[in-house]
């Protein structure tokens, strides 16, 4: 089913799970069993990340396996350094696989930008290309605190609007830990007449290391409650995970109360915490 139709049905909110292709082949079986653990939540789709500069050779096989497991798929795709020819070939592959959705991204810029192909400079150009060259329903990324390269949130929202105008159907946000930031973002998007569904990205907290990494890569505010708990439990991953489930549950419960259309979980290929959070919600 297309993203557009998935979120058009307002009866209940939609759950989706992001996974990434494991680096080691022996971890594939593990990923499938983690996803089996989450099947009971009847996810609207599984989203599969794409390495901007990495090896994506296993994507097609993973998509086939997920389809055989009866999941709908939203593969991600990054256009940075991709030629139009390559993007065209990729879209043809997705068509062959009967894929209906895509998350259209620019991707992080490579270190040596002078050597990259510049057929696509920003995600809005990719959205436009996909819209004209396929029937795919298109998701795009949104950043409640602004993208790390953007001058400010307002400028980033103007650029998000370009993706919407080019044909995006749904916005999936970067993770955030403070729901008030997300609600203010929704107000700002509304003022810009961005009316397509905006689905919050939720990442269960697993360790201090994970939070340090995320906050070094993106603009993500750590609320005081979380700061205090990192100080208290940061040395113990099991304590952090326990706290993370409670934090994630409270965050999701509040989002649902405030009428969100869906929850998109960054699972990190692990089902335990997502399961613990969802079992108290659904």
Active-site residue set: 18
Half-sphere exposure of 182 (CA within 13 A, CB side): 24
SS3 83: coil
Instruction: Characterise 263 by phi-psi region: left (phi > 0), alpha (psi -120 to 50), beta (else).
Output: beta
| DSSP-derived pairing of the beta strands 262-266 and 101-105 | unpaired
Applying CB under 6 A, among 15, 31, 38, 52 the residue interacting with ligand FAD is 52
Max Cα–Cα distance, the chain, nearest Å? 52
Angle, CA 234 vertex, CA 232 and CA 237 arms, to 5°: 125
- Between 97 and 150, CB nearer to ligand FAD: 150
- Between 157 and 277, CB nearer to ligand FAD: 157
* Residue 50 is a binding residue for ligand FAD (CB under 6 A): yes
- Between 130 and 141, CB nearer to ligand FAD: 141
CA dist 169 and 153 (Å) reads 21
Applying CB under 6 A, among 60, 97, 150, 181 the residue interacting with ligand FAD is 150
The sign of the CA dihedral 257, 263, 267, 271 is: positive
* Residue 105 is a binding residue for ligand FAD (CB under 6 A): yes
- Between 20 and 243, CB nearer to ligand FAD: 20
Identify which of 234, 232, 173, 176 has the alpha carbon closest to the alpha carbon of residue 206.
234
Binding segment for ligand FAD among 6-14, 35-43, 88-96, 100-108 (CB under 6 A)?
100-108
Binding segment for ligand FAD among 35-43, 93-101, 103-111, 237-245 (CB under 6 A)?
103-111
Cβ proximity of 264 and 142 under 8 Å: no
- Between 108 and 235, CB nearer to ligand FAD: 108
* Residue 149 is a binding residue for ligand FAD (CB under 6 A): yes
* Residue 172 is a binding residue for ligand FAD (CB under 6 A): yes
Residues that bind ligand FAD (CB under 6 A): 49-52, 76, 78, 103, 105-108, 122-124, 141, 147, 149-150, 155-156, 159, 162-163, 172, 174, 201
């Amino acid at each position: 089913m297309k993203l557009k139709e998935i979120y058009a049905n307002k009866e209940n909110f939609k759950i989706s799970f992001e996974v990434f292709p494991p680096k080691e082949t022996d971890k594939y079986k593990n990923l499938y069993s983690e996803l089996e653990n989450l099947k009971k939540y009847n996810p609207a789709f599984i989203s599969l990340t794409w390495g901007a500069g990495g090896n994506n050779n296993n994507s097609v096989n993973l998509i086939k396996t997920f389809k055989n497991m009866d999941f709908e798929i939203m593969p991600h795709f990054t256009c940075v350094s991709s030629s139009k020819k390559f993007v065209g070939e990729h879209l043809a592959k997705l068509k062959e696989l009967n894929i209906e959705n895509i998350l259209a991204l620019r991707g992080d810029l490579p270190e040596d930008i002078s050597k990259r192909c510049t057929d696509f400079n920003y995600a809005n150009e990719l959205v436009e290309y996909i819209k004209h060259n396929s029937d795919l329903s298109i998701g795009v990324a949104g950043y409640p605190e602004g993208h790390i390269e953007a001058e400010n949130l307002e400028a980033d929202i103007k650029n998000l609007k370009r993706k919407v105008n080019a044909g995006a159907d749904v916005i999936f946000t970067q993770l955030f830990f403070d729901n008030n930031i997300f609600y203010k973002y929704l107000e700002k998007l509304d003022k810009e007449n961005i009316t397509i569904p905006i689905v919050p990205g939720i990442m269960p907290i697993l360790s201090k290391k994970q939070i340090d990494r995320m906050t070094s890569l993106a603009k993500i505010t750590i609320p005081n409650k979380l700061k205090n708990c990192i100080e208290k439990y940061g040395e113990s991953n099991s304590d952090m995970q326990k706290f993370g489930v409670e934090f994630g549950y409270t965050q999701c419960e509040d989002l649902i109360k405030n009428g969100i259309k869906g929850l998109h979980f960054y699972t990190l290929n692990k089902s335990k915490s997502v399961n613990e959070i969802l079992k108290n919600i659904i």
